[in-house]
Structure 1
Amino acid sequence: MPQAAAVAEPTTGTSGSDFAPLLRTTREQGLLERRTGWYARGIAANLLALAAVVTGIVLIGDSWWTLPLALPLTVLWARTAFVGHDAGHAQITGNRRASLVISLVHSNLLLGMNQAWWNDKHVRHHANPNHIDKDPDVGVGALVWTQKQAEQREGFARWLTRNQARLFFPMLLLEGIALKIYGFQYLRRQPVRERMLEGPLLVAHLVGYFALLFTVMSPGKAVAFALVHHALFGLHLGMAFAPNHKGMEMPDPDGERWGHLRRQVVTSRNVRGGILTDWFLGGLNYQIEHHLFPSMARPNLRLVQPLVRAHCRALGMPYTEAGLIDSYRQALTHMHEVGEPLRTDRTGGAV
């Protein structure tokens, strides 16, 4: 049976003596203990809210007034995705089987996202964030993240790179659908036993989702609802993940190997804010702390932040924080700079 993937915190000084004191203090203060009760209450509240929105869709029925419910459904789907993310990191419980069940229910069944695909990609990202050769999040795709990558673009991809900063948020509107496609594509790479478990859950999600919409709405309204819902969902997730690493330092593939502390801190950006920011971004606004302690329960991230900030200050290590809007500005500025040579290249055409 497939297991929920998790990145473990280094437990000895082999990861670098600069991290060992911080890890020891964090453990002594009990901040690595699970908060299963906190998650249980949050999961129950989210499921009840999802049921309420579904009930609203059924009661309003075949009316364009159903369309506004795509917004709360989007927000609740994002909460569902955050639970799946946390389960994949073993933040909710130390029981691997229980973590897997939570991940399968929230990712595959409720969202139609293949949790095995996400965990495979996400674990590699955590191990080497912003490493151009090892982090799949900065590999060549629809977007590119270095000028060297940009130089290799041709045709439509070249035009896309020249304009990627201004197109970033519009492209996120397609991400909700893309996540489902990636999940189904990944099934072919999974062992038969995993495929037989995860595939039916993905299909069950699609059948249930479209059965609901097409049962209570006309085909035109059902398609409109699904498109708006998935567009908003992709935008919401993109807004939660975009501030975390884009525009931050990228390790030199041929340079020295960084220790755990430096590798995670200088490549990550925190987003300042209060309770609303924590809720909207699912705790990912504490990106530095999350990368240092990936199995730490979400509510403990804000508690460990002062320790991490003080530790970095004592070592003279940059600790980057920004407001939400400024974090987007920094990420978009980096994407704009990556495409700069193509905009000034006569053979590529100026824009």
Structure 2
Amino acid sequence: MSPESSHRTAQAARSPHADASTDRLKFNGDNVFQRELRRRVEAYFKHGGLKQRDSARLYLKTAIILATFVASYVLLVFFATAWWQGLLLSIVLAVATAQIGFNIQHDAGHQAFSERRWLNKCMAMTLDLVGGSSYVWHWKHAHFHHTHTNIDGYDSDINLGALARFAPQQKHYWHHRWQHIYLWALYGLTVVSWHLHDDFRDVITGSIGKRRFPRPRGKDLAVFVVGKLVFLTLALGLPLLFHSIGTVLLFYAVIAVLTGLQLALVFQLAHAVEETEFPTPSEPGRMNTPWAIHQLETTANFSRDSRMITWLVGGLNFQVEHHLFPRISHIHYPAISPIVEAACREYGVPYHANASFGAGLASHYRWLRQMGRPETVPASLVLEPLAQN
């Protein structure tokens, strides 16, 4: 076991396990760094006369993505006659679907698309159009994940139950020794699970993983139900009027698996890599670190120099900037990244970044492999209680 791994295992054993309640953790410490960082970023927008939201570039990008989505869907369902046409159009539709999530829904769900709440609400509901739930996503991602990033028992995004072990605090099962191999296939099933199971389970049980959340009511429930009906009609009902059930299910599977791979990998490269931490509360309900420092310790960027990847993933290769400033549109992340990195160096706090997408994938692979090994308690931890006695 590496020294870094031993340190994290020791932390997990010393710290009390996160209580799986709805109570939020309190982040302690000096917030001078966060205030100064916010001042510098706000000065960038003020001096440049720029808006943090309602960007013309984002509106144009939204129009391009939605037009691509509609065009590829229409061509696939109504005009494709050969298998290779269906395959090419399915790939385009899968990319467009993921880009709706990365670029449109994600900004809107964080209130970063527009200053107008109604427009954010409308754009957030594009997730319901492609099979997810904007309501469940708000609680799972914007609330639980962003507040308690990489904290086991609080961040539901790192909890796959017995299927995977992402954090040192999570229980190790014998099959985890192969998770660095089999998880890549399971990532492709992420979207299928959302479509047909996860959202329904979460709403019925009123819980996301170990965390309780209020079930949707009124308009929120109507959006959930209508959204699922519209999606199932578009994904299965309408195509079945023109194609065989085997063809419809095949191309649904292609689109869903490709979309799931894109969504899952972007998240994993941001948090489940060697560079990031998986801290635990120092005492029930409390973290020793300030919130901003916690985000920097638990988040990593990748491919910051690639304009193509930045465009495709909605700036989520700049996850550090996103976690620090979730209400700023992703259009601005490349510009504020040097400001954030310079402040981190000045204040001596971490700024994690992998140079490329491939480097991020390799780091995620190594982390999965490390977490797949049985836990080993360092000898120093075993001897420490004896020394205290």
Contact 1:162 1:342 in 2 (8 A): no
Partner of 1:299: 331
Contact 1:133 1:253 in 2 (8 A): no
Of 103, 107, 123, which aligns to 2:127? 107
5+ residue gaps, structure 2? 1-27, 207-214, 377-389
Of 25-34 and 199-208, the range deviating more from structure 2: 25-34
Equivalences for residues 192-341 of structure 1 within 5 A: 192-193=217-218, 194-247=220-273, 248-254=276-282, 256-272=287-303, 273-322=305-354, 323-341=356-374
| CA drift at 1:137 | 1.6
Contact 1:92 1:99 in 2 (8 A): yes
Q: What is the number of residues matched between the two proteins?
A: 323
Distance, in Å, in 1 between the alignment partners of 2:272 and 2:94 is 24
Contact 1:162 1:340 in 2 (8 A): yes
Distance, in Å, in 1 between the alignment partners of 2:61 and 2:150 is 31
What TM-score, normalized to structure 1? 0.86
Distance, in Å, in 1 between the alignment partners of 2:375 and 2:43 is 52
Partner of 2:179: 164
| CA drift at 1:40 | 1.8
Distance, in Å, in 2 between the alignment partners of 1:252 and 1:147 is 10
**One-letter identity of the residue aligned with 2:249:** V
Is 2:111 the partner of 1:85?
no
What TM-score, normalized to structure 2? 0.78
**Deviations along 1:286-341, whole A, 9 cap, x unmatched?**
01100010111111111110110000011111211112111111112111111111
Equivalences for residues 61-80 of structure 1 within 5 A: 61-65=80-84, 66-80=86-100
**Deviations along 1:223-282, whole A, 9 cap, x unmatched?**
111111111111111122110011311113226521122111111111023211102322
Partner of 2:57: 38
Contact 1:57 1:69 in 2 (8 A): yes
Distance, in Å, in 2 between the alignment partners of 1:325 and 1:124 is 28
Of 15, 18, 26, which aligns to 2:33? 18
Give % identity: 24
| CA drift at 1:32 | 6.3
Distance, in Å, in 2 between the alignment partners of 1:285 and 1:64 is 34
**One-letter identity of the residue aligned with 2:66:** L
Provide closer, same or farther for how the CA distance between residues 32 and 307 of structure 1 changes in structure 2, counting only shifts above 3 A: farther
Distance, in Å, in 1 between the alignment partners of 2:115 and 2:312 is 26
Contact 2:29 2:288 in 1 (8 A): no
Distance, in Å, in 1 between the alignment partners of 2:291 and 2:44 is 21
Computed over aligned residues only, the root mean square deviation of the Cα atoms, in angstroms, reads 2.1
Partner SS, residue 19 of structure 1: helix
**One-letter identity of the residue aligned with 1:50:** F
Contact 1:64 1:221 in 2 (8 A): no
5+ residue gaps, structure 1? 1-12, 344-351
Partner of 1:27: 42
| CA drift at 1:113 | 0.4
